[in-house]
Amino acid sequence: MNFKKSALFTALSLVGFGTLATQDADYQHEVSLSTFDYVDGDFSQDATFSANYRYYVSPVSQKNGPYALSGFLAHTSNVGVEYGHSGSVGSYSLDGQYVFDSNFFIKANYQTIDLTLRTYNSYAVKAT
């Protein structure tokens, strides 16, 4: 990915998603995209890309605190998915959280990282 395409993608992302955060409206969907180019000492170039999506079962209010923390402070059940890619490395993850009425949480996640010669998988379940 060349610099012009990366700069254009980043600028459009900041303009498009920045206006959504300032509307101070409840939301159930959260999307984030990021990309950057890494230039090595020998001037080889690797593009890194990451995309995240989260769905909240109940609407999340931005009035409870800062926008960046509103999903965490909402204490609502949610499901998320993430994809990342850099050079020959790919990463996928799926996670979720169920919140009971008594504020008891059950969380679970699964992640796989695909390297050139090997694939790593991890999973976890946590109750708090």
pLDDT in tens, 19-73: 455 567 888 899 998 887 766 666 666 778 899 999 999 988 888 778 778 888 8
pLDDT at 99: 93
pLDDT at 18: 46
**Distances in Å between the alpha carbon of 10 and those of 6, 7, 13, 81?**
6, 5, 5, 21
pLDDT in tens, 65-108: 787 788 888 889 999 999 998 877 889 999 999 999 998 999 99
Closest to 58 (Cα-Cα) out of 30, 82, 27, 95: 27
pLDDT at 81: 96
| Bridge partners (DSSP) listed for residue 56 | 78
